[in-house]
């Protein structure tokens, strides 16, 4: 299960991290995964993410965060022009 709001927030975080020239892009999936976990946990405690327990909320957040990376790659591949 993923949450579109977490996906969008993590995509924005990933895009912001990509703008930092001194940070290697290989860290973006790790960063958005951690951000998704934090957002999922916060959503659980506020009642926004209806998970059964806090661990499931973290997993939902991580999966949603990583989905933002995957969706970005799909978009990038679909819009890439062939030479």
The confidence score (pLDDT) of residue 26 equals 92
Domain of 36, in residue numbers: 4-15+26-77
- With both helix axes pointing from N to C terminus, report the angle between 4-18 and 28-46 in degrees, rounded to the nearest 10: 140
| Inside any domain, residue 82 | no
Q: Could you list the mean pLDDT of each consecutive 10-residue stretch along the chain, which spans 83 residues? A: 89 94 93 97 92 95 94 87 59
Task: Choose among 11, 65, 5: nearest CA to 38.
Answer: 65
| Inside any domain, residue 31 | yes
The confidence score (pLDDT) of residue 81 equals 67
The confidence score (pLDDT) of residue 6 equals 95
Gyration radius of the chain over CA positions: 14
Domain count, the chain: 1
The confidence score (pLDDT) of residue 73 equals 87
In this structure, are residues 2 and 28 in contact, taking their beta carbons and an 8 Å threshold?
Answer: no
Task: Choose among 45, 30, 50, 36: nearest CA to 7.
Answer: 36
The confidence score (pLDDT) of residue 82 equals 60
| Inside any domain, residue 11 | yes
SS3 3: coil
Q: To the nearest 5 percent, what fractions of the chain are helix, strand and coil?
A: 75, 0, 25
């Amino acid at each position: 299960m993923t949450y579109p709001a977490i996906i969008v927030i993590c995509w924005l975080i990933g895009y912001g991290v990509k703008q930092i020239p001194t940070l290697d892009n290989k860290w973006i999936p790790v960063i958005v995964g951690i951000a998704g976990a934090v957002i999922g946990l916060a959503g659980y405690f506020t009642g926004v993410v209806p998970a059964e327990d806090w661990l499931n909320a973290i997993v939902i957040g991580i999966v949603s965060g990583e989905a933002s990376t995957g969706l970005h790659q799909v978009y990038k591949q679909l819009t890439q022009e062939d030479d």
